[in-house]
Amino acid sequence: LACSQTAKPANQQSWQTQIQGGSRQSPIDIRSSESVHDPQLTPLSISYDPSDCLQIWNNGDSFLVEFDDSKDNSVVSGGPLENHYKLKQFHFHWGAENNRGSEHTINSLVYPAELHLVHWNAEKFRTFDEAIFSENGLAVIGVFLKLGRKHDGLQKLVNALPAVKYKDSTVEFSNFNPSCMIPSCLDYWTYPGSLTTPPQTESVTWVIMKKPIEFGDDQLSAFRSLLFTPFGEKLENMVDNFRQQQPLMNRVVRATIL
Ligand SMILES: CC(C)NC[C@H](O)COc1ccc(S(N)(=O)=O)cc1
Ligand SMILES: [Zn+2]
């Protein structure tokens, strides 16, 4: 899907790159007063198996922690999801400075970083790459990160980052349980959206956790010391890897009342 070169719909600002005919792009600003409390939204059921954790990869956009999705051990279901979705990878978005970094915002409040846990609908599709191009193909859980106490669970991940400093570097990474990054409060917002990086397909059910997790300045600095560029090329720090916000258009954000 090429970025649209055709005339934008009237209500589009010209500076927004809008997927051709896109009507459900991500990220968005979530305005809590306009969200709809939906009593039918059940709690999410999240269960991850740390032995499914395989490796960390710097793909030039972010660093991805990738999971073995050949079994059914690391899955999310419930909430707004009709099926169970398998964890494929998680990654983060962050800023060069603490006043920016998250992709979603809450009443325009920005967080310094945002975690995305990317799952695909294994009941309807055979592979992740098939699911990303399909309706109801993906479920991404977004968790905001705010600066405060060091996050002990995250430190194992932070210690591995120097090994993936350069674009296209990969390092083995095992026995990490992403559950340690899920807030204890399971309240969330949910809305239909898209991938926030190419191919920006409109295949994502977003589940944004209401409460942030905390992590330390040194841990955020470790994210910022990664590079967008491969070994041997000009050093460009991997920072500000978040997409600009997209119009809500004809969508409603639903909220839990847990
Ligand atoms: C082979 C190509 C199509 N693969 C594309 C790549 O996996 C894109 O995957 C993703 C997965 C998640 C996201 S986000 N930031 O919305 O959570 C963005 C791109
Ligand atoms: Zn992301």
The finding on whether 118 has its CB within 6 A of some atom of ligand 1 is: yes
The string of DSSP letters for the chain reads -PBP-SPPPTTS-TTS--BTT-SS-S--EE-GGGSEE-TT-PPEEEE--GGGEEEEEE-SSSEEEEE-TTSSSSEEEETT-SS-EEEEEEEEEE-SSTT---SSEETTB--SEEEEEEEEETTT-SSHHHHTTSTT-EEEEEEEEEESS--HHHHHHHHHGGGG-STT-EEE--S--GGGGS-S---EEEEEE--SSTT--S-EEEEEESSPEEE-HHHHHHHHTSBSSPTTSPP-B-----PPP----S---EE---
pLDDT in tens, 31-81: 999 999 999 999 999 999 999 999 999 999 999 999 999 999 999 999 999
Query: What pTM was estimated for this model as a whole?
Result: 0.93
Task: Give residue 102 CA to ligand 2 midpoint distance, Å.
Answer: 9
Give the atom of ligand 1 at the shortest distance from the alpha carbon of 196. Answer: 16
Give the atom of ligand 1 at the shortest distance from the alpha carbon of 197. Answer: 18
The finding on whether 179 has its CB within 6 A of some atom of ligand 1 is: no
Is 0.90 exceeded by the ipTM? yes
The finding on whether 116 has its CB within 6 A of some atom of ligand 1 is: yes
**Which residues hold their Cβ within 5 A of ligand 2, which is an ion?**
116
